Amino acid sequence: MIESIFHINVNCTNFERSLEFYKTLGFEVTRDLNEVGNKTEGQAHPHLWHAGMCRIALRTRTLVKDYEELKGKGIEFWTEPIMFELKDGRQEGFVCCSDPDGTVIELIQV
């Protein structure tokens, strides 16, 4: 049976710019393969209903806090977090931004 996601490949037009963006989100380089390949062409999917991978959803337990922190570091979000209060009083919600090439990044608290 499948155990986990091993990796997600996000092509980018400017590696250093995208590396800094994802580090700002808290990602770390765990293995540098020094891959050199073909130049990335085109752009990310134009909307969330396009075929293929259209977004990366990252789970957080502190959505509003993370939003404020990342916004303070220059990440531009589409909206403020959209929060829902469940019947048991817990809060769930989400907020989206785009990486430097337009790939949708969703922060979600569930």
Does residue 5 register a pLDDT over 70?
yes
| Higher pLDDT, residue 39 or 21 | 21
pLDDT-derived band of residue 97, with 50, 70 and 90 as boundaries? very high
Which whole number is the average pLDDT over 85-100? 94
Does residue 7 register a pLDDT over 90?
no
Does residue 9 register a pLDDT over 90?
no
- What is the spatial distance between Cα 58 and Cα 56, in angstroms, rounded to a whole number? 6
CATH code for the domain defined by 15-109: 3.10.180.10
**CA triple 3-53-48, angle to 5 deg:** 130
* 56 class by beta-carbon count within 10 Å (0-12 exposed, 13-18 middle, 19+ buried): middle
Q: What confidence tens digit (pLDDT) does each residue in 41-74 have? A: 888 887 778 777 788 999 999 999 999 999 999 9
Tell me what pLDDT residue 60 has.
94
Does residue 2 register a pLDDT over 70?
no
- State the residue for tokens 């979000």: 77
- What is the spatial distance between Cα 44 and Cα 81, in angstroms, rounded to a whole number? 23
For residues 10-44, one letter each, b for 16 or more C-beta atoms within 10 angstroms of the residue's C-beta and e for the rest, the string is eebeeeeebeebbeebeeeeeeeeeeeeeeeeeeb
